[in-house]
A and B are shown apart, each in its own frame.
Chain A
Amino acid sequence: MNVVALLRVAMRALAVNKLRSALTMLGIIIGVAAVIVMIAVGAGAQARVEEQIRSLGANILLLLSGATTSGGVRLGFGSNLTLSEDDAIALQRELPEAIAAPALRGSAQVVWGNQNWSTVIFGVTPEYLEVREWEIIAGHGFDPTDLAGATKVCLLGQTVARQLFAGADPVGQVIRIRRVPFTVIGVLEGKGQSLMGTDQDDLILMPLSTARKRVLGVGTLAKQRSVGTIWVKVREGYDMKAAEEQVRGLLRQRHRLQPGQDDDFSLRNLEEVAATQEASSRVLALLLAAVASVSLVVGGIGIMNIMLVSVTERTREIGLRMAVGARTRDILGQFLVEAVTLSLIGGIAGILIGVGASFAIAQVAGWRIVLSPESVVLAVAFAFAIGVFFGFYPARKAAHLNPVEALRFE
């Protein structure tokens, strides 16, 4: 008997007990749907993390100024600006594999016309945009002369541009930052949310010297060269771990830290932060995988159970088929194909439901999902394997019936 004929026989046999067949498939349907959703959510989370890493810029080490201890109360990173512009220059000099961009952070109220907005100010060097891989979509960036002259120019993040100008072209306009008039020379492209969920577009960039002298600087800070953070971008393909060690070593040396003494700065590899996030979404995927595998096994047992019932019910039919010349492999094939048909139809239904559920999750929970053809192939392969595995025993039982007893079976 060829496969097409076997398939017809199987479909007919399954059609006899439609409800029973449908109920039997349920386990497989749920299992396969869970597999599809699991892969869609997992791949979606991974894609999101990858995208975020891209939005931060790849191969980035972030140096944060250390914490101050003030009478036993530790004040957190950046409370004491232990890093300086000179550290950045030294890093640039000693590490040809890296670009170092110092940044000084502060917050300010900005005003344009009758609009105002509270945002974050970053005093940076031109390297900052290069390190962050951040494009300017309107106007232009500042250049070394702006830095040297501490000119009052700034770049607006998307959110700030939208809040202040609401569609008007900001380039060339004068805004007031902490009452100091600044000329907007450019607008940055949108970067969306950061890994921590903050809006990366809600900021204003200006030359580091300008920020220090005209906006953030009060008193001593204006004269110092200290900065809150230094972004270090390492050349693509360079070992990040090695770069981390080199940066740490260099800074400890510059800050004259004795062996055994704590770092007075913090060094973060942003990809590690991203990887942590990815790990948490992986937990969810794992949970779904557990549900899927349990459901597939239960579904498989259901198929085995119903196939055993079917074999018993159709003992006489099996006897007759044997009497008219069915060989062991014919009967084995017939029941195996029936089990596989059951699991495959369940699998296909599961795929449809899984795809639907994935879209529903994307809509309702707002998660990103990625449906891949591989997951469909995997699901079908799973369903097929379940059918063969759990169908084999009942089929074997049918194939090894004694024809005399089978024909006499009541």
Chain B
Amino acid sequence: MAETLIHARDLVKIYRVGDNEIRALAGVTVDVAGGEFTAVMGPSGSGKSTFMNLLGCLDRPTSGEYVLAGKRVSELAGDELAEVRNRNIGFVFQTFNLLARTAAQENVELPLIYAGVPARERRDRAMEMLAKVGLAERAGHHPGQLSGGQQQRVAIARALVTRPLLILADEPTGALDSRTSLEIMGLLQELNRQGMTVVMVTHEPDVARFARRILRFRDGRVVEDEANAHPDDATALLAREAVAA
């Protein structure tokens, strides 16, 4: 077993809406080792999004402890969290969240700008990542000139460009057709095979089956933590589909 990357203990998150308290997370304890591919599932309101926000250092737990790669990030605030996000976490969103009217390459460079990387190195690393996701020749295209799948690849390149410890994907295939979904899942599986830790939120069982571990949330708790010994191989499925067609 590789060393523990994510060490979450009794994470509780309470939102206050008017006089009501909403217990979004009611004590979640999860460890994720480096190199895992974990799917997080659950109905809406189950707390899975809150959990991902905490993992992504976008939010702080009301109580509990979160250690990321040996660092107690649950005690950090504001700009320190921004730095952790910048260095250690790559985000992939359902709606891609690319900057409009901005070339793919510049979109990929964005995290490096905030990391203070010089322009020349930024460009080289962005091009390298675009090549890795198979979009080297589209570097100058704006998001509007790219298909959904291509946009998500740019987003994945952006997530990878800071060489993070962890990719957090929030419904990465939610806005894509099934064939493009397979391509994106194939890419994430490939990255995982190369050693990248991936945590992915999805509500589609088909998509979750590509992960090697599935966490199920309900009412702010982890109700099931299941290892998937034989995950589907997205690339193989895609090849089979191509033959069938």
| A39 to B115 Cα, complex, angstroms | 46
Q: How large is the interface on A (under 10, 10 to 19, 20 to 34, 35 or more residues)?
A: 20 to 34
B145 sits at the interface (CB 8 A): no
Q: Determine if B110 and A324 form an interchain contact, defined as CB atoms under 8 angstroms apart.
A: yes
A window 310-360: CB within 8 A of B: 316-317, 319-330
Determine which of A1, A329, A330, A404 lies in contact with B58 in the assembled complex, contact meaning CB atoms within 8 Å.
A404
Q: Determine if B97 and A327 form an interchain contact, defined as CB atoms under 8 angstroms apart.
A: no
Q: Which residues of A contact B44 (CB under 8 A)?
A: none
- A12-B111 contact in complex given A328-B78, A407-B58, C-beta closer than 8 Å: no
Q: How large is the interface on B (under 10, 10 to 19, 20 to 34, 35 or more residues)?
A: 20 to 34
Q: Which residues of B contact A327 (CB under 8 A)?
A: 78-79, 82-83, 114
Q: Mark A373-410, 1 if CB is under 8 A from B, else 0.
A: 00000000000000000000000000000111001000
Q: Determine if B87 and A325 form an interchain contact, defined as CB atoms under 8 angstroms apart.
A: yes
A2 to chain B, nearest CB (A): 9
| A320 to B92 Cα, complex, angstroms | 10
- A404-B53 contact in complex given A322-B82, A326-B82, A327-B82, C-beta closer than 8 Å: yes
Closest to A320 in B: B97
Q: Which residues of A contact B91 (CB under 8 A)?
A: 323-324
Q: Determine if B114 and A325 form an interchain contact, defined as CB atoms under 8 angstroms apart.
A: yes
Q: Determine if B83 and A324 form an interchain contact, defined as CB atoms under 8 angstroms apart.
A: no
Q: Is the interface of A mostly helix, strand, loop or mixed?
A: helix
Q: Which residues of B contact A316 (CB under 8 A)?
A: 97
Closest to B79 in A: A327
Closest to B83 in A: A325
B window 85-121: CB within 8 A of A: 85-87, 91, 93, 97, 99, 101-102, 110-111, 113-115
- A5-B101 contact in complex given A326-B82, A407-B93, C-beta closer than 8 Å: no
B65 to chain A, nearest CB (A): 20
Q: Determine if B85 and A324 form an interchain contact, defined as CB atoms under 8 angstroms apart.
A: yes
Q: Determine if B114 and A323 form an interchain contact, defined as CB atoms under 8 angstroms apart.
A: no
Q: Determine if B85 and A325 form an interchain contact, defined as CB atoms under 8 angstroms apart.
A: yes
| A348 to B113 Cα, complex, angstroms | 30
Q: Determine if B97 and A1 form an interchain contact, defined as CB atoms under 8 angstroms apart.
A: no
B window 177-217: CB within 8 A of A: none
Closest to A316 in B: B97
Q: Mark B128-171, 1 if CB is under 8 A from A, else 0.
A: 00000000000000000000000000000010001000000000
Q: Determine if B110 and A403 form an interchain contact, defined as CB atoms under 8 angstroms apart.
A: no
Q: Determine if A324 and B102 form an interchain contact, defined as CB atoms under 8 angstroms apart.
A: no
A16 sits at the interface (CB 8 A): yes
Q: Which residues of A contact B87 (CB under 8 A)?
A: 325
Q: Which residues of B contact A328 (CB under 8 A)?
A: 78-79, 82
Q: Determine if B58 and A324 form an interchain contact, defined as CB atoms under 8 angstroms apart.
A: no
Q: Which residues of A contact B47 (CB under 8 A)?
A: none
Closest to A16 in B: B101
Determine which of B59, B86, B93, B110 lies in contact with A404 in the assembled complex, contact meaning CB atoms within 8 Å.
B59
Q: Determine if A323 and B58 form an interchain contact, defined as CB atoms under 8 angstroms apart.
A: yes
- A326-B114 contact in complex given A12-B101, A317-B99, A320-B97, C-beta closer than 8 Å: yes
Q: Which residues of B contact A320 (CB under 8 A)?
A: 93, 97, 99
Q: Mark A1-45, 1 if CB is under 8 A from B, else 0.
A: 100010000001000100000000000000000000000000000
Q: Determine if A321 and B110 form an interchain contact, defined as CB atoms under 8 angstroms apart.
A: yes
Closest to A1 in B: B113
A window 261-306: CB within 8 A of B: none
B56 sits at the interface (CB 8 A): yes
Q: Determine if B78 and A323 form an interchain contact, defined as CB atoms under 8 angstroms apart.
A: no
Q: Which residues of A contact B110 (CB under 8 A)?
A: 321, 324
Q: Determine if A1 and B114 form an interchain contact, defined as CB atoms under 8 angstroms apart.
A: yes
Closest to A325 in B: B86
Q: Which residues of A contact B86 (CB under 8 A)?
A: 324-325
Q: Determine if B158 and A403 form an interchain contact, defined as CB atoms under 8 angstroms apart.
A: no
Q: Determine if B111 and A324 form an interchain contact, defined as CB atoms under 8 angstroms apart.
A: yes
Q: Which residues of A contact B99 (CB under 8 A)?
A: 317, 320
Q: Which residues of B contact A323 (CB under 8 A)?
A: 56, 58, 85, 91, 97
Q: Which residues of B contact A329 (CB under 8 A)?
A: 79
A93 to chain B, nearest CB (A): 84
Q: Determine if A330 and B85 form an interchain contact, defined as CB atoms under 8 angstroms apart.
A: no
Q: Determine if B101 and A324 form an interchain contact, defined as CB atoms under 8 angstroms apart.
A: no
Q: Determine if A12 and B102 form an interchain contact, defined as CB atoms under 8 angstroms apart.
A: yes
| A320 to B158 Cα, complex, angstroms | 11
B164 to chain A, nearest CB (A): 10
| A316 to B56 Cα, complex, angstroms | 16
Q: Which residues of A contact B93 (CB under 8 A)?
A: 320, 407
| A319 to B85 Cα, complex, angstroms | 12
Q: Which residues of A contact B82 (CB under 8 A)?
A: 322, 325-328
B157 to chain A, nearest CB (A): 12
Q: Mark B54-86, 1 if CB is under 8 A from A, else 0.
A: 001011000000000000000000110011011
- Among B78, B82, B114, max chain A CB count under 10 A is at B82
Question: What 9 A-B pairs are tightest by C-beta distance, nearest first?
Answer: A325-B86, A324-B111, A325-B114, A327-B79, A320-B97, A403-B58, A327-B82, A404-B58, A323-B91
Residues of chain A having any CB pair with chain B under 8 Å: 1, 5, 12, 16, 316-317, 319-330, 402-404, 407
- Besides A324-B162, A325-B83, 20 more A-B contacts (Cβ < 8 Å) are A316-B97, A319-B97, A322-B85, A323-B58, A323-B91, A324-B85, A324-B86, A324-B110, A325-B85, A327-B79, A327-B82, A327-B83, A327-B114, A328-B82, A402-B59, A403-B58, A403-B59, A404-B53, A404-B58, A407-B97
Residues of chain B having any CB pair with chain A under 8 Å: 53, 56, 58-59, 78-79, 82-83, 85-87, 91, 93, 97, 99, 101-102, 110-111, 113-115, 158, 162
Can you pick out 21 interface pairs between chain A and chain B where the beta carbons lie within 8 Å of each other? Answer: A5-B113, A12-B101, A16-B101, A320-B93, A320-B99, A321-B110, A322-B85, A323-B56, A323-B85, A324-B86, A324-B114, A325-B86, A325-B87, A325-B162, A327-B79, A327-B82, A327-B83, A328-B79, A402-B59, A404-B53, A407-B93
